[in-house]
Amino acid sequence: MQFLYKCAVTVTVISFAMAALSIGTSAQPARGPAGPGVTVINTPLPIAGDVNATVTGSVSLTGNPTVTVGNPESAPALVRDVDYAARERFELVSDEMSYCCTIAATETLGFVPAGKRLIIEHVSAFAHLPPGQRWNTFTHVNDDFVPFVFQGRLSNGLDHFVANYQTSVSVEPGNRIVMNLHRDSTEGRAFVWVRIFGYLVPVP
């Protein structure tokens, strides 16, 4: 009797073990054959819209993108004037210019050297006219208006004028540096002195 009981228990345990093994085996999905290998190539992808990123290394831009560079007052972006090293200081001081009995006169102050372009940046001048006379808008240095301002009457009876202004006038190689004088009367003699500042740059 005990032998039969032990056999029954043994059969029951074996049955439970086989059932558990069957369940564990059937839970795993079937696997098919392995597929082909895949290689990813680092090809740049087009990007549209705004991009905010921290970039290290080099960046290439194509097309016509708009790029904004941060430039805060606390850490301003550094810039370099590529023409600065080639600039040659220029200063011209005229002798006294005077003319009589005519409204207009043209004075050649000098010439721009060959192979150089003159950039006039500042003009200062003073002038004397007979009492009551004035300079008009035809008074120029190389087509740039000279704004003479009346300062008062001198002890010798002449009216005193001063011009002092910044400008940006380009004069090509070999051309004259010219002052055109124009007043509103032919009476008496006019006197003018002028100083010009700027720089010369090589012309390719």
Among all chains, which residue has been given the structure tokens 């921290």?
54
Q: What is the DSSP letter of 16?
A: H
Distance (Å, whole) CA 201 – CA 173: 10
Q: What percent of the chain lies above the pLDDT cut of 90? A: 51
What sign for the dihedral angle of Cα 114, 115, 117, 118? negative
Tokens of 185: 């009367």
Q: What is the pLDDT of residues 79-138, one digit of tens each?
A: 766 666 678 999 999 999 999 999 999 999 999 999 999 999 999 999 999 999 999 878
pLDDT of residue 173: 96
The whole-number pLDDT of residue 78 equals 77
Question: Between 31 and 114, where is the model more confident?
Answer: 114
pLDDT reported for residue 178: 94
- The tally of CA atoms less than 13 A away on the side-chain side of residue 149 is 6
Q: What is the pLDDT of residue 4?
A: 46
pLDDT higher than threshold 60 for residue 6: no
Burial of 171: CB neighbours in 10 Å, binned 0-12, 13-18, 19+ = buried
Decide: helix, strand or coil at residue 119.
Answer: strand
Torsion from C-alpha of 170, 175, 177, 180, nearest 10 degrees: -100
- What pLDDT, on a 0 to 100 scale, did the predictor assign at position 131? 97
Question: What is the rounded CA–CA span in Å between residue 113 and residue 88?
Answer: 12
